[in-house]
Amino acid sequence: MEKNLNSMSREEKVEEITREELLRSPEYWEEYIKIDLFNIVQDYLDENKLSRKELADKMGVSRGYISQVLNGDSDHRLSKIVTFALQAGKAPCIYFRDLNKVIEDDRNGKNAIPDFDKLEQSLEFKERFTQFISLDAMSRQMNLGFSSHLKDGRVKEEDEIVYDEQGFSYSLEQKKQMSDAA
Amino acid sequence: MYTFALKTCKYSRGNKVVYQLIVNDKDEFSKFENKYGTKQYRSLLLRIGTRIENLSKGIRLPAGQISNIFGVEGGFEIKADSLRVYYLELQNECLIICMGGLKKNQKKDIDRFKRITKELQKQLKDGKKFEFHE
């Protein structure tokens, strides 16, 4: 009995890992950077059909170091991360967000790390579309009969069209994309 | 004979849904997290969780973090130092985390993983519907 009590008191109490603990951990953010760096380097090797040795020679590092990156091992110096990114034709934009906001977004089902490519595409689309709906509004004011139902992929005839309070028209799908981008 | 149920994993955050497999009423992944959530292994568990999240987003993992399980179609192991997690990927749409363990018990764990996944794939092929747990 005494032996059992002693072993029970020595047992560490284990708390379940929560999303908040995960997002507050250095491990989470380190892993994302390592995995991102791996994918950038691997894509670069594949696209340029380079061997690890050729890349190592280009960057003035050892082949062993390239292997570490490709294995997702090791803690990298900031200067090396920057060098790898630039070599692969990528600008290493570093983006800091309020952690509490990230945790709150995660709780609401949003990604902790935004998909910047998608965001860029949405903003580009929003910019182009804003120009388009300006033309549309103008033409309706002038009663020119400019059709919103174009077939170039911006608005398809079969899309359901909605109008906002200013009279601009766009499809439900485009309205959703603009809300997501905002 | 195994009975299976599923539960959505807290690391599921992308287009590929991640489930935890419940085998004979035991949630294997939660059992693994409870066992190795101690100070000694907690950092590795956090890394594994992050890697699962990346997989659910369709992001490729480096070779040092993941490998195929020979003899199990769609079977993979996620590696983090001395810990291993074994999962099945189905039709590029979802991941089912089957179990986890220590690297030193790899052979025994992989054998068990093969038995479980063989039965799981058979039941899936037979059109069996699984219960979902909260």
For chain A, domain boundaries: 2-107, 116-181
pLDDT grade, residue B120 (50/70/90)? Answer: very high
Tell me which chain B residue has its CA closest to the CA of residue A29. B50
**Residue B92: predicted pLDDT:** 84
Q: Write out chain B residues lying below 8 Å of A39, CB-based.
A: 59-60
Domains belonging to chain B, first-starting first, are: 4-125 (3.30.2310.20)
Q: Judge whether B45 and B36 are in contact, CB under 8 Å.
A: yes
Residue with tokens 């790898």: A84
Q: Write out chain B residues lying below 8 Å of A17, CB-based.
A: 10, 33, 37, 42, 45-46, 49
**Residue A66: predicted pLDDT:** 92
Tell me whether residues B46 and A39 touch, CB distance under 8 A. no
Tell me which chain A residue has its CA closest to the CA of residue B41. A14
Residues of chain A with pLDDT under 50: 1-9, 145-158
Q: A10 — contact with chain B (CB < 8 Å)?
A: no
User: Which of B82, B121, B127, B125 lies closest to B104, judged by CA?
Assistant: B82
Q: Judge whether A70 and A41 are in contact, CB under 8 Å.
A: yes
pLDDT greater at residue B35 or residue A115: B35
Between A81-95, A163-177, B53-67, B81-95, the lowest mean confidence (pLDDT) is in A163-177
**Residue B37: predicted pLDDT:** 94
Crossing angle of helices A26-48 and B39-56, rounded to 10°:
50
**Residue A8: predicted pLDDT:** 44
Euclidean distance between CA atoms A160 and A148, whole angstroms = 11
**Residue A112: predicted pLDDT:** 76
**Residue A115: predicted pLDDT:** 72
Give the CATH number of domain A2-107: 1.10.260.40
**Residue A1: predicted pLDDT:** 44
Tell me which chain A residue has its CA closest to the CA of residue B66. A71
Euclidean distance between CA atoms A43 and A31, whole angstroms = 18
**Residue A147: predicted pLDDT:** 45
Q: Write out chain B residues lying below 8 Å of A70, CB-based.
A: 62-64
Crossing angle of helices A26-48 and A63-71, rounded to 10°:
120
- Count contacts between A and B (CB, < 8 Å): 71
Among the partner-chain residues A32, A70, A112, the one whose CB lies closest to the CB of B62 is A70
